[in-house]
Amino acid sequence: MRPLSARERKLIAVLILVLAVSLVLAILIGPIVGGFSDRTARAEALIQTFHAGEQRIASLGALQAEAERQSDQMKGLFMAAPDAGEASEALRERVETAFQEAGADIKASEAVPAEDGWARTAIDARMSHVQLAGLLARLNALKPALAVETVTVIADDALTNYKSDLLDVRLEASAPFVPAR
């Protein structure tokens, strides 16, 4: 092999210097620059999260108003009472009033214990066929709505007097309720 000329040695030295500088850039400065870009990306993500949070905070008033509107709407669909006992008593009064408006002779009424979120009542009365039809129509139109679970109709008087129109009726009804504030 022949010895390198001075020019070739200078070129090789410059090449080694360029390689050393690029190696230093790639190993030492590259991760530092990459860290800056990573932190910039995280900062931008945090800024977007912050702006989204600000928008949510700004919409809290509207969300509160909507929640109150829905709460009022729920009160129209459900009975509102402090507890199940008072809800059952209120339901008993509502159904008893419907019986009285239908012209029934109420024998007994009671607020019956029920599972959570439900009020329940049972009423025994004496009425005619026409009054029973009117009562069922009234109960169907009550707001908030209730569910008639059981209707037991006994026509004992018809055994002795075939013209008798009187019925002994036991009606059990329930309705959902929400705890009042």
pLDDT, tens digit, for every residue of 10-38?
Answer: 888 899 999 988 888 888 887 888 888 89
Q: How far, CA to CA in Å, does 75 sit from each of 35, 37, 91, 113, 181?
A: 57, 55, 14, 21, 11
**Model pTM?**
0.59
- Mean pLDDT computed over every residue of the chain: 87
Q: Is residue 162 very low, low, confident or very high in pLDDT (cuts 50, 70, 90)? A: confident
pLDDT tens sequence across 69-128: 887 777 777 887 888 888 889 899 999 999 999 999 999 999 888 778 888 999 999 999
In terms of Cα–Cα distance, which of 169, 27, 58 is closest to 108?
169
- The confidence band for 181, taking pLDDT boundaries of 50, 70 and 90, is low
Secondary structure in 3-state letters for 95-138: HHHHHHHHCCEEEEEEEECCCCCEEEEEEEEEEEHHHHHHHHHH
Pairing mode of beta strands 118-128, 166-179: antiparallel
> Options 3.30.70.60, 3.30.1490.20, 3.30.230.10, 3.30.428.10; which CATH number does 79-179 get?
3.30.70.60
What is the residue extent of each domain of the chain?
A: 6-58, 79-179
